[in-house]
């Protein structure tokens, strides 16, 4: 599904709303004290009075709160979208070939040229290359062409009033009031995604308040209208997610016939140089980052495209938890930075939706935690597959195939 809304904006409006299959946590954090339940439900007018009081307590003026909340109403379409999120079941080859099109690459390069000075500033101040920012810009809204048509104020009022996840959305509504006070948003007319994301790089109000940049010097942060604002805000946000200046994020490689496949996948313990020593070869010939941690990523198994994911790849998983989305976005960024089209290889056929659910059910019966039986090849399912492949003496590359299903 979309990214966690506690501190990050939910993204992938155009191509990846409701993506699933995020990376599994390596270790559960210590339990934090429970926060007080956020007020929700009941009479809308009374609810909005409570929001106004919270906004004033947070530093907003009463006038800004009144302006932001005047005319607010529940949007049933938002609730419908929230409860009926789709699932993402395309393969990496299917999704990446659709999203990383030649037309989009051409537009991306034009944007990088058009805003060369802004991108140069983004890299100088935040260490984020233009290709990384541009790929997200393309993936999120097609360079601003498709930003969503839900009234942002009403979307956040709806999701805050609804008692499903008010603790996630109420703070976003308070932040929207702050944006209104700054003159950065017209609550009556501003539109965006159903979950309250705004602008060309799709960010939630709290993140805009925290990381917003006035790139065009007009005294406002307007991510819907301003390319420079969107570029610099994205750069600052990506830096916040942990992007390390001067380091790669994804590198295409070729792989030999035999490797310790069970060590492949995200969250591994090997360095890139160790993979190189085993015969993994970067297509660009650059082995200069061998001392960095490097995960061998095989989106469709050992017979398909192969990549080394470096520590900077983690920012993609912070941006969006879907493995297919993040790998596609990272690959897109490498293309904009000069890399060639990946080698498709000849991956073994995968499983249809019903077959994948059958496989997940079998894996669960064998004691593996695959999460929901949803037909999605997420990280939990991939890890379980690798363990069973290793047990059965099959190359443990994490790819779900009919042969594996039959063997189980």
φ, ψ of residue 253 to 5 degrees: the values are: -135, 165
Check: CB of residue 259 under 8 Å from CB of residue 149.
no
Confidence check: pLDDT of 96 > 80: yes
User: Taking the CB of residue 225, how many other CB atoms lie within 10 A of it?
Assistant: 13
Pairing of strands 306-309, 250-254: antiparallel
Rg over alpha carbons for the chain, rounded to the nearest Å, is 22
Alpha carbon distances (Å) from 406 to 299, 389, 392: 21, 12, 12
The 10s digit of each residue's pLDDT in 387-396 is 999 999 999 9
Check: CB of residue 12 under 8 Å from CB of residue 86.
no
93/323 Cα distance (integer angstroms): 13
Give residue 351's pLDDT.
95
Q: How far is CA 19 from the centre of its chain?
A: 9
Alpha carbon distances (Å) from 317 to 2, 76, 256, 309, 379: 11, 31, 27, 11, 12
Tracing tokens 């934090």 back to the chain, one arrives at 32
The 10s digit of each residue's pLDDT in 157-193 is 999 999 999 999 999 999 999 999 999 999 999 999 9
Confidence check: pLDDT of 302 > 80: yes
- Which two structure tokens, joined as six digits, stand for 119? 């991108």
10/399 Cα distance (integer angstroms): 28
3-state secondary structure of 299: strand
Q: How far is CA 327 from the centre of its chain?
A: 10
Give residue 89's pLDDT.
78
Q: What is the mean pLDDT of residues 47-56?
A: 97
Confidence check: pLDDT of 359 > 70: yes
Closest to 229 (Cα-Cα) out of 198, 186, 271, 262? 198
Tracing tokens 């995200």 back to the chain, one arrives at 266
pTM, two decimals, is 0.89
250 beta partners: 309
5-18 exposure pattern, b = at least 16 Cβ within 10 A, e = fewer: beebbbbbbbbbbb
Q: How confident is the model at residue 49 (pLDDT cuts 50, 70, 90)?
A: very high
Average predicted confidence (pLDDT) for the chain: 90
Check: CB of residue 130 under 8 Å from CB of residue 336.
yes
φ, ψ of residue 376 to 5 degrees: the values are: -105, 135
The 10s digit of each residue's pLDDT in 239-295 is 999 999 999 999 999 999 999 999 999 998 999 999 999 999 999 999 999 999 999
Please give, one letter per residue, the 3-state secondary structure of 99-160: HCCHHHHHHHHHHHHHCHHHHHHHHHHHCCCHHHHHHHHHHHHCCCCCCCCEEHHHHHHHHH
* Residue 183 backbone class (left: φ over 0; alpha: ψ -120 to 50; beta: rest): left
């Amino acid at each position: 599904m979309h990214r966690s809304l506690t501190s990050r904006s939910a993204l992938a409006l155009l191509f990846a709303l409701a993506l699933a299959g995020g990376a599994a946590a390596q270790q559960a954090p210590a339990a934090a004290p429970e926060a007080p339940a956020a007020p929700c439900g009941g009479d809308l007018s009374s609810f909005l009075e409570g929001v106004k009081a919270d906004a004033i307590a947070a530093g907003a003026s009463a006038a800004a709160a009144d302006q932001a909340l005047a005319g607010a109403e529940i949007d049933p379409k938002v609730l419908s979208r929230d409860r009926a999120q789709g699932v993402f079941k395309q393969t990496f080859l299917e999704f990446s070939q659709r999203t990383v099109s030649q037309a989009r690459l051409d537009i991306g390069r034009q944007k990088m040229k058009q805003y060369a000075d802004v991108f140069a500033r983004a890299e100088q101040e935040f260490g984020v290359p233009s290709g990384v920012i541009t790929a997200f810009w393309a993936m999120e809204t097609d360079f601003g062409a498709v930003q969503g048509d839900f009234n942002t104020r009403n979307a956040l009022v709806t999701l805050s009033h609804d008692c499903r996840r008010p603790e996630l959305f109420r703070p976003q509504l308070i932040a929207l009031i702050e944006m209104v006070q700054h003159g950065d948003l017209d609550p009556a007319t501003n539109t965006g995604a159903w979950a309250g994301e705004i602008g060309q790089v799709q960010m939630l109000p709290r993140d805009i308040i925290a990381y917003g940049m006035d790139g065009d010097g007009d005294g406002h942060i307007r991510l819907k209208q301003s390319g420079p604002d969107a570029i610099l805000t994205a750069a600052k946000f990506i830096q916040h997610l942990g992007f390390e200046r001067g380091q790669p994020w994804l590198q295409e490689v070729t792989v030999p016939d035999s490797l310790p496949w069970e060590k492949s996948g995200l969250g591994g313990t090997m360095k890139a140089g160790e993979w190189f020593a085993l015969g993994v070869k970067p297509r660009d010939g650059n082995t200069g980052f061998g001392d960095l941690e490097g995960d061998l990523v095989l989106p469709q198994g050992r017979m398909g495209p192969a990549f080394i994911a470096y520590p900077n790849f983690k920012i993609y998983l912070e941006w969006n938890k879907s493995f297919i989305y993040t790998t596609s976005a990272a690959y897109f960024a490498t293309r904009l930075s000069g890399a060639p089209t990946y080698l498709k290889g000849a991956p073994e056929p995968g499983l249809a939706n019903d077959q994948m659910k059958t496989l997940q059910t079998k894996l669960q019966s064998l004691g593996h935690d695959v999460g929901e039986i949803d037909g999605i090849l997420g990280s939990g399912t991939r890890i379980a597959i690798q363990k069973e492949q290793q047990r059965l003496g099959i190359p443990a590359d994490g790819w779900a195939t009919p042969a594996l299903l039959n063997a189980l």
